[in-house]
């Protein structure tokens, strides 16, 4: 393990991410801002090995190190322009009653990070795809390696995004032999970010309880140390929605553009995400119509929202596959030949309910989290019947994921229920958490605990009088 390399790469993630956030003018509190910088910096650096290859340089430690430095420096330009002395944020330690939950969460985190570091990548999709490409790129110092002389007919994973391949090359060369630790960077920062989000809305005791139940989803937790695309994709898709909600609240165009960029990164990680993004358009149309936006501004906003993810899609399909994968790629072969039969959509939606969620297997996959969400939602629906903007859009986003996965299953026969759809459902899970953080029932309960906790005893108040 090269600790100097790890520290360098972490600083590079932070600076690149911070530059990006400055570029978009995103403002957050210090801790979520730091986490978001780290998260945003991860996919930005993944392009470094591709640049090295495009320049016909050997994919080796020094060229990759220089490429990482150049990308970081380029994204840091907004930081140098408005340079301010960094100020350390005030660290607020969790209250005593949060510790029982947080200690368990910390144990989960240590377990996940250690496994990520200790074991080599394991999943078949990786060993026959990005990890194979990265391993031989490092050994042979070129991304167009001897791997392409092997029989690859049993897999199409090498056609997937360069996101993992690039990061694996960087981490293998600069940090540790099995790479993968970038997944822990994403995981830890996302969890801290989520906890801050929950704590801002709910009483800390409820926030930490929800976080613990979110952690205790066996399937989702497994992918915090099993390297695949879905956990990273979930993070960027969720953050895209989070900033979209902020835009719909405050109408700041920079947050709208940043949301589009995050959706673009989600598309860069998994290209099918583009289908889900198109399902967000009705929501935007509804709000633009409500705001009485001129048609020209509406078209401009739609353009921004769609063009960024499409650009990332083109980078994947037209640049990466064309320049780095010397095997013919025919997209049409992956599309369902029987598009007239739309019953496949409904079958997939039914299968999601009957085979993945509302079944014993559903508990084995996602614990009681989805059931808890359903219970909170039904209680809100029956009792309070009031939903704030965040909760409404979170519900819409969950529907986008649910119906989107049905459509993906119908369009792409390779997207099977037990793998693609099962892991695709991850995207709905933090959105469920966002809903619960805005649930009327939980907000009331949270306010009740706060009132009770901070209320002064009656006797003391009377004495003061």
Partner 1 sequence: MKYKRNILFIISIIVVFLLYNEPFYNYWFYNRILVPDDHGDIFYQVQHLDKEERREFRFGDSYIFYRDLLNQFKEHNVQNITLLLPPNEYVHKMNFDALIIPEPAVFYYFTGVNAVTKSSPDVRSANWALVAANGKVWMNRLRTRPQLDSLLALYKPYKD
Q: Which residues bind partner 1 (CB under 8 A)?
A: 95-101, 104, 107-108, 110-111, 114, 118-120, 122, 124, 127-129, 131-132, 135, 139, 147, 149-155, 177-178, 205, 208-209, 212-213, 216, 218, 363-364, 367-368, 449, 452-454
Question: Residue 320 Cβ, how far from partner 1 at the closest point, in Å?
Answer: 18
Question: Residue 218 Cβ, how far from partner 1 at the closest point, in Å?
Answer: 5
* 367 touches 359 (CB < 8 A): no
Distance between CA atoms of 312 and 304, rounded to whole angstroms? 13
Burial annotation 425-460 (CB, 10 A radius, 16+ → b, else e)? bbbbbbbbbbbbbbbbbbbeebeebeeeeeeeeeee
Question: Residue 38 Cβ, how far from partner 1 at the closest point, in Å?
Answer: 24
Question: Residue 390 Cβ, how far from partner 1 at the closest point, in Å?
Answer: 26
Looking at the Cβ atoms of 82 and 462, the one nearer to partner 1 is 462
Looking at the Cβ atoms of 24 and 221, the one nearer to partner 1 is 221
Closest of 197, 223, 218, 209 to residue 435, by C-alpha:
197
Looking at the Cβ atoms of 15 and 181, the one nearer to partner 1 is 181
Closest of 60, 383, 428, 41 to residue 214, by C-alpha:
428
Query: CA of 185: how far to CAs of 7, 39, 87, 289, 356, in Å?
Result: 12, 7, 22, 40, 29
Query: CA of 396: how far to CAs of 276, 316, 357, 365, 400, in Å?
Result: 12, 28, 18, 23, 6
Looking at the Cβ atoms of 213 and 411, the one nearer to partner 1 is 213
- How does DSSP assign 98-133, residue by residue? GHHHHHHHHHHHHHHHHHHHHSPP--HHHHTTHHHH
Looking at the Cβ atoms of 206 and 441, the one nearer to partner 1 is 206
Question: Residue 448 Cβ, how far from partner 1 at the closest point, in Å?
Answer: 12
Residue with tokens 């390297």: 227
Question: Residue 425 Cβ, how far from partner 1 at the closest point, in Å?
Answer: 18
Looking at the Cβ atoms of 85 and 456, the one nearer to partner 1 is 456
Q: How far apart are the first and last CA of the chain?
A: 65
Distance between CA atoms of 186 and 428, rounded to whole angstroms? 18
Question: Residue 192 Cβ, how far from partner 1 at the closest point, in Å?
Answer: 19
Looking at the Cβ atoms of 188 and 449, the one nearer to partner 1 is 449
Question: Residue 129 Cβ, how far from partner 1 at the closest point, in Å?
Answer: 8
Looking at the Cβ atoms of 191 and 401, the one nearer to partner 1 is 191
Looking at the Cβ atoms of 151 and 338, the one nearer to partner 1 is 151
Question: Residue 154 Cβ, how far from partner 1 at the closest point, in Å?
Answer: 4
Looking at the Cβ atoms of 108 and 287, the one nearer to partner 1 is 108
Query: CA of 116: how far to CAs of 99, 120, 171, 222, in Å?
Result: 25, 8, 12, 10
Instruction: Tell me the H-state helices in 141-252.
Output: 162-174, 181-201, 204-215, 218-222, 230-250
Distance between CA atoms of 126 and 116, rounded to whole angstroms? 14
Question: Residue 65 Cβ, how far from partner 1 at the closest point, in Å?
Answer: 21
């Amino acid at each position: 393990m090269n600790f100097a390399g790890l520290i360098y790469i972490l600083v590079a993630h932070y600076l690149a991410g911070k530059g990006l956030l400055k570029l978009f003018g995103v403002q957050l509190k210090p801790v979520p801002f730091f986490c978001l910088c780290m998260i945003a910096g991860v996919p930005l650096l993944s392009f470094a090995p591709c640049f090295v290859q495009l320049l016909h340089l050997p994919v080796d430690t020094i060229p990759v190190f220089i490429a990482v430095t150049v990308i970081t420096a380029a994204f840091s330009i907004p930081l140098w322009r408005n340079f301010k002395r960094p100020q350390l944020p005030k660290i607020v330690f969790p209250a005593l009653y949060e510790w029982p939950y947080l200690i368990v969460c910390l144990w989960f985190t240590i377990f996940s990070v250690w496994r990520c570091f200790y074991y080599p990548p394991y999943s078949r999709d990786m060993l026959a795809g990005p990890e194979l490409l990265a391993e031989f790129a490092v050994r042979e110092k070129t991304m167009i390696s001897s791997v392409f002389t092997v029989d690859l007919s049993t897999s199409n994973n090498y056609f997937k995004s360069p996101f993992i391949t690039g990061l694996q090359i960087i981490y293998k060369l600069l940090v540790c032999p099995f790479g993968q630790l970038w997944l822990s960077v994403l995981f830890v920062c996302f969890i801290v970010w989520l906890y801050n989000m929950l704590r801002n809305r709910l009483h800390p005791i409820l926030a930490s309880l929800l976080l613990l139940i979110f952690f205790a989803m066996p399937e989702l937790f497994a992918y915090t140390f099993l390297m695949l695309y879905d956990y990273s994709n979930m993070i960027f898709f969720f953050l895209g929605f989070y900033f979209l909600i902020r835009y719909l609240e405050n109408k700041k165009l920079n947050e709208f553009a940043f949301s589009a960029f995050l959706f673009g990164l989600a598309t860069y990680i998994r290209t099918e995400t583009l289908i889900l993004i198109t399902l967000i358009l009705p929501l935007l149309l509804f709000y633009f119509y409500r705001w009485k936006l001129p048609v020209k501004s509406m078209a401009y906003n739609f353009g921004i929202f769609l063009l960024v993810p499409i650009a990332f899609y083109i980078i994947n399909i037209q640049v990466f596959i064309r320049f780095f994968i010397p095997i013919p790629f025919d997209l049409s072969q992956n599309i369902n030949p029987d598009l007239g039969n739309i019953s496949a959509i409904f079958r997939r939606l039914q299968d999601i309910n009957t085979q993945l969620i509302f079944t014993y297997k559903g508990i084995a996959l996602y614990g009681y989290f989805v059931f808890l969400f359903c219970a909170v939602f039904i209680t809100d629906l029956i009792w309070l019947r009031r939903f704030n903007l965040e909760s409404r859009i979170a519900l819409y986003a969950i529907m986008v994921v649910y119906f989107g996965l049905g459509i993906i299953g119908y369009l792409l026969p390779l997207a099977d229920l037990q793998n693609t759809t099962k892991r695709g459902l991850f995207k709905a899970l933090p959105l469920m958490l966002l809903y619960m953080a805005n649930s009327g029932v939980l907000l009331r309960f949270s306010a009740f605990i706060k009132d009770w906790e901070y209320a002064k005893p009656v006797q003391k108040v009377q004495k003061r009088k």
